[in-house]
Chains A and B, each alone.
Chain A
Amino acid sequence: MAPLTLRPGSGQVKFGVVIFPGSNCDHDAFHVLRDVLGQPSEWIWHQSAEIGHLDAVILPGGFSYGDYLRTGAIASHSPVMSAVKKFAARGGLVLGICNGFQILCESGLLPGAMLRNRRLKFLCRFVHLRVENTDTPFTGACQPGQVLKIPIAHMEGNYFVDEPARRELEHNQQIIFRYATPAGEIADDEETNPNGALANIAGISNPERNVLGLMPHPERASEPLMGSTDGLAIFQSMIASLVTK
């Protein structure tokens, strides 16, 4: 199963960034991939029914179709999401950031749902994430237990899933990132787990490990001027996993 089109020896990965009409972090992800990491990157319009010859797809943050209903609910029925599902089914890497994570949950590519933040307000701040599983294409460049400083910016990031599903996530080691203190401890206070996510869950993968949903924004923590470069580890992991595959 290798319909993906890696150019052998090029060391480069072809990323696609989806544009929903209300995406607003699309340019940020594109900037990091193309300008910071030097990867050939393309836009994917939300009405595209095909993903084309790409190695990895980013579902960026924003408000997809206005999110008048539940966040990501309308986007999950868009033409591009049918294409993303097929792409994921044949092993393509899919990273959903913030609204992208919400869309992955609504599409059934990942389990669970987002509730409003515990204080019912939008929250924009740096948080600390503990890497829970380094055996994934998104975290291969991280150390086990490594703490990443990356910002969140969302109203609905309070991850929830029922108890059997949570146990399954734990059992399969699908919980990839948890909100933690700067020292890497898991705590449920508002500073550490600001949105109140169940079990401090900040990012999960599917059982196959090729689809990751993540509430914090690694693309906003990928250059020194932005106050942190910890987000690069995620993109670099993706690139490394694809070029060495």
Chain B
Amino acid sequence: MSEPAVTADLVAQHGLTAEEYERIKQILGRTPTFTELGIFSVMWSEHCSYKSSKVHLKRLPTAGPQVLQGPGENAGVVDIGDGLAAVFKIESHNHPSFVEPFQGAATGVGGILRDIFTMGARPIAILDALRFGSLEDTKNRSIAEGVVSGIAFYGNCIGVPTVGGEVYFEPEPSGYSHNPLVNALCLGVAPKEKIFFARARGVGNPVIYVGAKTGRDGIHGASLLASAEFDETSQQKRPNVQIGDPFLEKLLLEALLEALDTGAIVGLQDMGAAGLTCSTCEMGAREGTGIEIELEKVPQREAGMTPYEIMLSESQERMLAVAEKGREKEILDVFRKWGLDAVLIGQVTGDGKLRVRHHGEVVAEIPARPLADDCPVYHRPLAPPAPRREQLIEFAAPDAAARNLRDDFLRLLASPTLASKRWITEQYDYSVRTNTVLSPGQGDAAVLRLKGTRRGLALTVDGNGRYCHLDPRRGAMLAVAEAARNLVAVGARPWAVTNCLNFGNPEKPEILWQFSEVIDGMAEACRVFGTPVTGGNVSFYNETRGKAIYPTPVIGMLGLLEDVEARIGNGFRRPGNAIVLLGGRTTERQGLERTFSSSEYAVRLRGVVVGAPPEIDLAYEKRVHDCCLELVRRSYVTAAHDLSDGGLLLALAEGSFAAATRVGAVVTLAGDLPLEAVCFGEESSRILLEVDEKHLADLLRIAAQYQVEARQLGWTTAGEFRVHFNGKVVLDEDVNLLAEAWRTGLTRRMRGAAA
């Protein structure tokens, strides 16, 4: 079979620059074949090589006593005590989800699951961070429908619970309209000694292909879909999106964990982005060995596939295993038991090369390490954007504003970003495997028990793109701070971080500046909270017709509970308890217009996205976390809920609605700030606590020891929801009426109701 000649045109079509092509020729000492060109183009795509982000990612803290494996493997691994390790990672599937929402999101879940179980860990939880444009636009509604069903389809079928996540339906200029963000996090757990690494060990060991047959789907998914901007023709890239089969992946998961138990497997890698190409050369490169495969042995879905197509296919649910020589049969037997294709396609060699044969003919022969590791690294130019001209919110006089508080509150409660996410979370099987102790909506973070131990794990994902748009560095700090705050609110110690960085085109200096700022903000906050970054994913080129999304770092944070029975939910437990606001600072009027102008209130009710995100003092934030954990440890706290989007009133409302019995709240607020800012301001470092009155004095004393503010705002009630402000009742409502607006807000919008 003759391959096309490699020309300058063909090189450009593969997204390689002239300089990159020169380097390829240098590595090979000759002109690449067509298949080799394809291999280089995917391995050196932005998606696989991190060529624009590498120099910045280096600044993240990745070390710590708890870290067993930092960035560089399929997923990060941390020690969680009792001889157990947690394996976790978050990844984006934004571009495929734009082109085909259902399959794009489904295969995003499938891919991250494989990353976890190829490390020998059984996946125990999935979380998702989603961003959609305004639901006024029917296209955004159908994207949201498709994405949520796709996640549900895959996770529910394979039987891994989707236990939490977060979602924003953000109006323009967010850039999320027609460019959704779909970030999926998976957590797995295994005994420490069973963690498995992706290495091609032992010259002469056989290489085994496992799972689905290779088809023509997904070719250039990584290089063309994930590494370029969108335009009107992007929907035509639908054939580049893979199709998921969760049942097959379930078989792969069970068979693989069983096969690993035989001890006959020495190396394992998922075939994800860049398929067979990536798995072969990365395994070889990591161990310094080479690998040789024969393509005609690869199970194929259709006849007549070329070497180029077989190497670049991104067909789902496939893996590559290296077996100990002589013990192949043990492995093949396990896969046969589960009804899976498993065939020997090659062997580990000692010459450091990736050699690909097709019917005896060598179609590619590339030094594995330079292919995997020597992609050019770019120090692309950065530049801060031009200063914004903006009109901040002007506050009405407090008295005038008070008249609208009830309407404002009801509108915010029913707005899709703040309303109950039940429409989404009910579509996810969140309780399969019976480990989910705090399910979606019950706590600020998901909490899972670990059967056979007293321990629990908590997980959360957070990131506010609007904040990062206004100040990327501070926005990133706030995202890390909120993640940690969510964990301490359920009683878990923040332990480690994974991150998904969603940005526009890094070749534009102001986008790369955002990226660089976000990295620095994240790095600083992770250092202060003692939560090293163990891995993650960068998604660039989130631009449609030249318009970039908000810079959107999503922080996935894992927390530890020594005793899972002691976890704290976010719903008030009973009437007559004290409501305490822990943390925060006496806000000065100065600067308030700026920070309040970036709030949910500002964007939803005033239609502005201006100003700056809330101030944050990381050292103070950390003291708030430590204090909260101490209060939980002393069993003073019966409910805890961090203050974030929508501020104090939203947190009070959610505390009231989460309880099965719908406990209400009466609070007394005071000060010379405008009422709306007091109710809906999003000042950082604050946690709302429900406390039995008998512990109140001790609680305040301990807060003082931590140099953290704490004041009682009021009491929980048997159903009234009342706010006093400077001596006047500014809101008095039955909690059921408020709850109804909150509970049905998103469902009504998804069923087509107007705002």
Interface residues of A (CB under 8 A from B): 21-22, 24-25, 27-28, 31-32, 35, 61-63, 65-68, 121-125, 151, 153, 155, 217, 219-220, 223, 225-227
- Interface 1/0s, chain B 431-463, versus A by CB < 8 A? 111101101000000000101000000000000
Interface residues of B (CB under 8 A from A): 149, 152, 156-159, 245-248, 250-251, 254, 338-339, 425-434, 436-437, 439, 449, 451, 564-565
Residue of B nearest to A68 (CB): B247
Q: Which residues of B contact A225 (CB under 8 A)?
A: 437, 449, 564-565
Q: Report the minimum CB–CB distance from B109 to chain A (whole Å).
A: 14
Residue of B nearest to A61 (CB): B432
Q: Which residues of A contact B426 (CB under 8 A)?
A: 121-125
Measured in the bound complex, the distance between the Cα atoms of B452 and A35 in whole Å is 10
Q: Which residues of A contact B248 (CB under 8 A)?
A: 66
With A22-B250, A123-B426 in contact, do A151 and B159 touch (Cβ < 8 Å)?
Answer: no
Q: Which residues of A contact B152 (CB under 8 A)?
A: 121-122
Q: Which residues of A contact B451 (CB under 8 A)?
A: 31, 35
Q: Report the minimum CB–CB distance from B668 to chain A (whole Å).
A: 34
Measured in the bound complex, the distance between the Cα atoms of B428 and A202 in whole Å is 20
A28 near B250 (CB under 8 angstroms)? no
Q: Which residues of A contact B247 (CB under 8 A)?
A: 21-22, 63, 65-68
Q: Could you list 23 examples of A-B contacts with CB < 8 Å? A: A21-B254, A21-B338, A22-B251, A28-B434, A31-B451, A63-B250, A65-B247, A66-B157, A66-B245, A66-B247, A66-B248, A121-B152, A122-B429, A124-B427, A153-B156, A153-B429, A155-B156, A219-B434, A220-B434, A225-B437, A225-B565, A226-B436, A227-B439
Measured in the bound complex, the distance between the Cα atoms of B436 and A217 in whole Å is 14
Number of residue pairs A-B, CB distance < 8 angstroms: 82
Q: Report the minimum CB–CB distance from A236 to chain B (whole Å).
A: 17
Measured in the bound complex, the distance between the Cα atoms of B434 and A28 in whole Å is 6
For B159, give its contact among A62, A65, A68, A227 (CB under 8 Å): A62
Q: Which residues of A contact B431 (CB under 8 A)?
A: 124, 151, 153, 217, 220, 226
Q: Which residues of A contact B427 (CB under 8 A)?
A: 121-124
The 7 A-B residue pairs with the shortest CB-CB distance, nearest first, are: A24-B159, A66-B247, A153-B429, A28-B434, A124-B429, A122-B427, A63-B157
Q: Report the minimum CB–CB distance from B338 to chain A (whole Å).
A: 6
Residue of A nearest to B564 (CB): A225
Q: Which residues of A contact B430 (CB under 8 A)?
A: 124
Q: Report the minimum CB–CB distance from B195 to chain A (whole Å).
A: 21
A25 near B156 (CB under 8 angstroms)? no
Q: Which residues of B contact A124 (CB under 8 A)?
A: 156, 425-431
Measured in the bound complex, the distance between the Cα atoms of B253 and A22 in whole Å is 11
Q: Which residues of A contact B439 (CB under 8 A)?
A: 227
Measured in the bound complex, the distance between the Cα atoms of B433 and A219 in whole Å is 10
With A63-B247, A66-B247 in contact, do A25 and B432 touch (Cβ < 8 Å)?
Answer: yes
B434 near A24 (CB under 8 angstroms)? no
11 new A-B contacts, CB < 8 A, other than A65-B247, A67-B247, A225-B437, are A21-B247, A22-B250, A24-B157, A28-B433, A63-B247, A66-B248, A121-B427, A124-B427, A153-B432, A217-B431, A225-B449
Q: Report the minimum CB–CB distance from A67 to chain B (whole Å).
A: 8
Residue of A nearest to B437 (CB): A225
Residue of B nearest to A21 (CB): B251
Residue of A nearest to B122 (CB): A27
Measured in the bound complex, the distance between the Cα atoms of B187 and A244 in whole Å is 44
Residue of A nearest to B248 (CB): A66
Residue of A nearest to B251 (CB): A21
Residue of A nearest to B162 (CB): A124
Q: Report the minimum CB–CB distance from B345 to chain A (whole Å).
A: 24
Q: Report the minimum CB–CB distance from B748 to chain A (whole Å).
A: 13
Measured in the bound complex, the distance between the Cα atoms of B437 and A223 in whole Å is 10
Q: Report the minimum CB–CB distance from A105 to chain B (whole Å).
A: 20
Q: Which residues of B contact A217 (CB under 8 A)?
A: 431
Q: Which residues of B contact A227 (CB under 8 A)?
A: 439
Residue of B nearest to A47 (CB): B337
Residue of A nearest to B245 (CB): A66
For A21, give its contact among B245, B339, B449 (CB under 8 Å): B339
B437 near A21 (CB under 8 angstroms)? no
Q: Which residues of B contact A63 (CB under 8 A)?
A: 157, 159, 246-247, 250
For A27, give its contact among B250, B338, B425, B433 (CB under 8 Å): B433
B433 near A21 (CB under 8 angstroms)? no
Q: Which residues of A contact B254 (CB under 8 A)?
A: 21
Q: Which residues of B contact A35 (CB under 8 A)?
A: 451
Residue of A nearest to B430 (CB): A124
Q: Report the minimum CB–CB distance from B712 to chain A (whole Å).
A: 30
Residue of B nearest to A35 (CB): B451
Q: Report the minimum CB–CB distance from A244 to chain B (whole Å).
A: 28
Q: Which residues of B contact A68 (CB under 8 A)?
A: 247
Measured in the bound complex, the distance between the Cα atoms of B431 and A151 in whole Å is 9
Q: Report the minimum CB–CB distance from A104 to chain B (whole Å).
A: 20
Q: Which residues of B contact A61 (CB under 8 A)?
A: 432
